[in-house]
Structure 1
């Protein structure tokens, strides 16, 4: 074997070894980049989760839970409307930003008012904030708090109806503006007192609304409006109802029961 050939083979081996070392170095750098990228991705996901959790708590209150005047039911989470002695109870879970709630309100308001005013039916209204959670914002919370403030003035039903008559588009969080809620109070004679204004501005019942919302989330119902007659769901997802059917259902439920005259 000539020295020349031996030198050539040695050079080839050295080049091959050098290439292998370079390949190992490239693989090491690639693994480092992948690990680094994975860590960054995990951190990004964690940050996103943190942002979502923070957003889900936006506008919530951790203060003491104070119920509005006359609140009824377990934990005092329902606002009563109508006569105490009415033989049937309509339980309503609603969100003032919810378009379906507005549709129910507009379609059934006259019937519900008539049944309540005649003593056949009383209502228990549970105020929730699903749209705040789904779309962001605080309009559901602020409107519900304002309605609870109106309850203290004996004006819940009137202000409740005004809120739905002026419900903004679901995507526009106009009810988040407390000054707008106070402007709407001008439509209810005698409502806009200093006490009402302070209650709205201070979010006096925010914690109560949050508790009502948590109660709804654990109730097994998952949409608003959810309407119960004497504890039985009669209107919700895939449950059509007409005003005439509601009247017939209340009449049947009240058969043989006394109806208060005043």
Structure 2
């Protein structure tokens, strides 16, 4: 999928919503509330996050207004959200359109909630940032610490059970499947979580623990337990994880090839 500007993607979403309004009138209220009632992408995304995390109708309105204000102040949030959405459309065959991702991908929704929380955390507004983390965990089953640092073009496939710790770093163009943990190894403080470089794919249920680096273009097989650094462009699998070859593609996250792959 080619790179889109935020305005281009927003126009595409509106066009798809208008078409969906005719095709599936049963969901007309959803299309209106989520897309058609809003002036821009940032406001629509703020409503999706606020509605998903709120504990009441009143709080939904309050959160939506707060998040919309944040999006107005920080245009980069919409830009990276656009990149994430395009990543899912291009990598996940379960979604055919940007509208489907925007409405129904909880991995996408949790990631955008994290991004608002991270922005708040960076400004020292810890309580609301932690509220976003806690409610995302409770409502969406995805736990991302707002202090972690996550790049653009990210896909959280399915999303359920993903945990990303406080000092974790995730580079650009990374794909993470359900049940993945980027965690610490104990009660130590400081920099204690993994550093996942760009283009990495992490298979379902993998646990990557400690302040270790997963090199650019590496692939971590499903169910693996990774306790040591992984070299760039290397495939590891197992418990404990061991090298079994090199990925067929320079950036496995983009191709989503989850088969075991021998040497090139």
Normalization by structure 2: what TM-score?
0.27
Which structure would you say has the larger Rg? 1
Question: Structure with the greater relative contact order (CA < 8 A, sep ≥ 6): 1 or 2?
Answer: 1
Normalization by structure 1: what TM-score?
0.28
